[in-house]
Amino acid sequence: MNNRQIMTQIAIIRHGTTSWNKAGKLQGHSDIPLDDEGKLQALKLGQRLSSESWDLVYSSHLIRARQTAAIVAQELGLDSVIEDHRLGEAGGGLIEGTTEEERQAKWGASWKLLDLGMESNAAVVARGRAFLTDLLAENPGKKILLVTHGSFIRQMLDALLPAMHPTPPMKNTSITRLQFSDENWHCELFNCVIHLDNSEDTQ
């Protein structure tokens, strides 16, 4: 069968919460672990997905994603998580560890226009597309979970599904389900956190 006729299902997950998330600090490549709430969020997501069949779990190399992926994989009964640096968060350069207020105080209201060492959108999308090209070639027809990061997810969705632009912020442990077949992407569920208490399903 021609691989273009095979449907591959990919669910993209943002990691659970960290202390920096709650402090409003940009994380980027900074390796910040999950806090206790983030671990509980990951457990709830894993329990939600445990009634489904998934073939593989991939994760960013950063610890907040790896911890989320490990908890989910355990709930799914999967033995391993495959790490890939190409799923890492967009690099923040000099702004990592700062809040918006701190950035404006240090570099002014137009700080986004300055060269502060941030990874470009083009670079993020390029590595994300390279990862997906390899993933789809190696795993046609499988159901795959990707545990990654908010900015990375938004930039990739903007690139793969331009009609979604601008993609709103991703919630912690949100799940976005994509289908790939006949060289086309389709989003069937977006930014869903129905597994979290007091949260609404957003589609």
Check if 15 is active-site: yes
- List the one residue out of 201, 72, 62 whose CA is nearest residue 144: 72
Query: What is the distance between the alpha carbons of residues 141 and 170, in angstroms, rounded to a whole number?
Result: 26
Q: Taking the chain, what is the end-to-end CA distance rounded to the nearest angstrom?
A: 33
- Single out the catalytic residue among 83, 89, 186, 188: 89
Q: Which two tokens stand for residue 166?
A: 């601008």
**CA–CA distances in Å: residue 153 to residues 34, 75, 169:** 18, 23, 9
Alpha helices in 108-188 (DSSP H): 121-138, 150-160
Our answer to whether residue 102 is catalytic in this structure is no
Burial class (CB in 10 A: 0-12, 13-18, 19+), 29: middle
User: Which are the catalytic amino acids?
Assistant: 15, 89
